[in-house]
Structure 1
Amino acid sequence: MNRGEWSEAYALLSLIANADFVLSDKSLADENSTQFKVKSILIPSNTPNKFVSLVVQDQSVIANYDGQQSSTPLTDIESVAKALFQKISSSSSTTFSFNELDTLWTKFFNPQIKATRSEKSDIKLEILDTSTQLKSIKGFSIKSNLGGATSLLNASQSTNFLYEAPHKISVPNITPKKLGKFVKPLPLKYLGSVNETYKLNLNKVDQNLESLISHLLVEYYGASNREKFVKDLLAIVANKNPLSLSNTSDYKIIMSKFLRATAFGMVPRDLWDGALSASGGMIIVKADGKLASFYLDDSHSNANLDNYLLEHSFFDTASTTRHDFGKVFDDKFFKFNLLIRL
């Protein structure tokens, strides 16, 4: 598997080894709250709508699946987690094997690690709120900072946005950046998402979102100072106020809603009903192997998450040949691609 997929397995092992669900601030530092605890972990099995349940009891992890049960010493899981972290950190290859997990995974009845294309939730956690003694089962998205940035929105041809220039475009040795710098001063016609489903999804989040993203992409690809962070591009667009909003702080609000929808529910090619499949929040594997956590049911953590997404997400450039963008067709039409990383 790739580094991100192995990181999901590592996050799972780390959650088992530490029952405290420690929330993080916008910089991913621990807030030292012990209000929430992980009571059990539910991982999708290879059978649709069935899960493997993992519970810590008396220094052992009990795995339950479809009437079957197995027990594993907690020390074995901690040992495998440590070895897996070292492998992820030291591997020079993006994709690699880690056979030490095979025996443990068999005892866990071979659950799935990677979420499906339309599913933002990687694992489900049963969380106990110690202040109310209430339990809830929520889906969480797992992201990894091991070995580099992680994707918040994967690039595809469905994340292309279409533009029309006012006249014929001629850019020698064209690249997306060269094209961006050429068209940035022009009075462009913003035609929006090339994917009709994604267009509907974006309008469900906010009616101004599709236009906002179109402007942000022009600023990103046409940047002279290599601006790429969402917060910096937002500041540039808000200063120009191309949507003629009465309050320019609304640009940040609109983008925040988009980042949240993208992180927890919406995918480009599937019509979105507004529901969050990862309704619990996000778990991030930090470069030092520790976990940072955001819990949507906690209002303070919710605010920290919005700030984290706005401050740390950035645009990136995908393969132009694979995703068919960054070139001119019919003399004055072109596409820019939306790829967002954390």
Structure 2
Amino acid sequence: MFNEDRGANRGEWSELYTFCYILSAGKLHAADTELNRLEGIFFPVIKIIREEIEGQKIDYRTGETIRVFHDDTFLCELPRSQFDEITNVLYHKILTKNDNSTSREGSFSIPSLVPFFDSIHVNKIKADSTKKRDITLQLHDVYTGIDQECGFSIKSFIGADPTLLNSSDATNIVYEIENCTDEIMEEVNNINTRHKIVDRIQFLKNQGCRFIIPDRLESIQFDTNLRYVDSSMPQLIAYALLYSYGIRGRHSSDVIARLADENPMNYADTDIYSYKFKKLLAAFALGMTPTDQNWKGVEDANGGYITVKRDGEVVCYYLYQRDEFEKYLFNKTHFDTPSTSRRDAFCVYKDDNSYKIKLNLDIRFNR
């Protein structure tokens, strides 16, 4: 039975929206670097595969009638137009979030849709949160002529801006501060302006303090995962996070441009900064999480990335569009500051007679 007792947030409901949208459309359009649909480039969808219980796959086969199978056993069928209707209902519910049965912060239920999802054997709202693969499609690859089963990650802009990398204790980065004193520490920690983190860092620099980039990150797992992308990635991201607090808007492309200008890692070719950072953003999007002990550089979302635009249109970056996808992430993300009350960070402290500060990494899509 469809379980939505606790509700779901906009992003989670958007996974079901994408599921219904694709079944209704029967194809998936590619996007350019500005997220515009490429009319002439699309991938016919043969079926969507859901595996809510490990080893038990349900196939939803496209056509004028959507036919549902468990392995080769026929379960039911519904007209494609019904999925189109459900898509419209989901879009307006997600956009307005106007259902009153809220059970947890940011979550809401849509009781009117329970009978529909029950009838098509959908029991869960969202995919396994431990994986980047939010939906599995069998596509007809127009480039090779082969039908391929591919996993995609989904990000939705309906009603809210999604995150690319969520902040957590694992994304703390600890910097040692040279030339600091107890007096400076006390004064900087008392800064509580509107932009207090920017002002605290600038105050420390004005006092002649120097931030030392760590050799390793506080989270050993996050450090290890970053090194699968590139052996120097922990240092690059530590520089980027620190530099971001001196960049208006903190857009990824602007932060990396400043890194290239100042070249703190002494690269002979400063284009390396943008090249490496694009690879990191793609890794976050397609498979890597800071705490995943099993991530070895393999992209769980091996098909690519699906984006639900603000107007409800669904487009994708397929694996052949790697350059366009990386440019999109690079140009459309920024460094965000998580709540200072939720993270043990942003204050100067003493540790074994050394002065230190924790900053927290959080990357979000632009408005």
- Length-normalised TM-score, structure 2: 0.86
Match of 2:37 in 1: 30
Structure 2 letter corresponding to 1:130: V
CA distance 1:252–1:92, shift in 2 (3 Å):
farther
CA distance 1:132–1:240, shift in 2 (3 Å):
closer
| SS of structure 2 residue aligned to 1:114 | coil
1:259 pairs with one of 262, 281, 286: 281
Distance 1:229 1:338 in 2: 13
Superposition pairs of residues 102-121 of structure 1, within 5 angstroms: 102-121=114-133
CA distance 1:336–1:61, shift in 2 (3 Å):
same
Q: 1:17, CA displacement in angstroms?
A: 0.7
User: Is 1:3 equivalent to 2:10 in the alignment?
Assistant: yes
| SS of structure 2 residue aligned to 1:321 | coil
Identity %: 30
Larger Rg: 2
Give runs of ≥4 in structure 1 deviating > 6 Å: none
User: Is 1:321 equivalent to 2:341 in the alignment?
Assistant: yes
Conserved 8 A contact 2:28-2:315: no
Match of 1:126 in 2: 138
Match of 1:295 in 2: 318
Match of 1:177 in 2: 198
Match of 1:217 in 2: 241
Structure 1 letter corresponding to 2:75: Q
User: Is 1:333 equivalent to 2:356 in the alignment?
Assistant: yes
Match of 1:73 in 2: 79
CA distance 1:97–1:184, shift in 2 (3 Å):
farther
User: Is 1:277 equivalent to 2:300 in the alignment?
Assistant: yes
Match of 1:85 in 2: 91
Distance 1:288 1:13 in 2: 16
Distance 2:133 2:164 in 1: 13
| SS of structure 1 residue aligned to 2:28 | coil
Conserved 8 A contact 2:13-2:126: no
CA distance 1:324–1:49, shift in 2 (3 Å):
farther
Alignment RMSD (CA, Å): 1.8
1:51 pairs with one of 50, 57, 60: 57
CA distance 1:103–1:320, shift in 2 (3 Å):
same
**Where does the alignment leave 5 or more consecutive residues of structure 2 unmatched?**
1-7, 100-105
Distance 2:20 2:315 in 1: 14
Conserved 8 A contact 2:45-2:62: no
Conserved 8 A contact 2:174-2:218: yes
Q: 1:96, CA displacement in angstroms?
A: 1.7
Size of the aligned set, in residue pairs, is 335
| SS of structure 2 residue aligned to 1:32 | strand
| SS of structure 2 residue aligned to 1:274 | coil
**Where does the alignment leave 5 or more consecutive residues of structure 1 unmatched?**
none
Structure 1 letter corresponding to 2:34: S
- Length-normalised TM-score, structure 1: 0.92
2:46 pairs with one of 26, 29, 39: 39
Q: 1:92, CA displacement in angstroms?
A: 6.1
Match of 2:331 in 1: 311
Q: Mean alpha-carbon deviation: is it higher for 123-132 or for 239-248?
A: 123-132
CA distance 1:228–1:44, shift in 2 (3 Å):
farther
Conserved 8 A contact 1:80-1:100: no
Q: 1:327, CA displacement in angstroms?
A: 1.2
| SS of structure 2 residue aligned to 1:259 | helix
For residues 258-280 of structure 1, what are the alpha-carbon distances to aligned partners after superposition, in whole Å with 9 as ceiling and x for unaligned?
A: 11111111111123211110000
Distance 1:315 1:24 in 2: 24
Structure 2 letter corresponding to 1:179: R
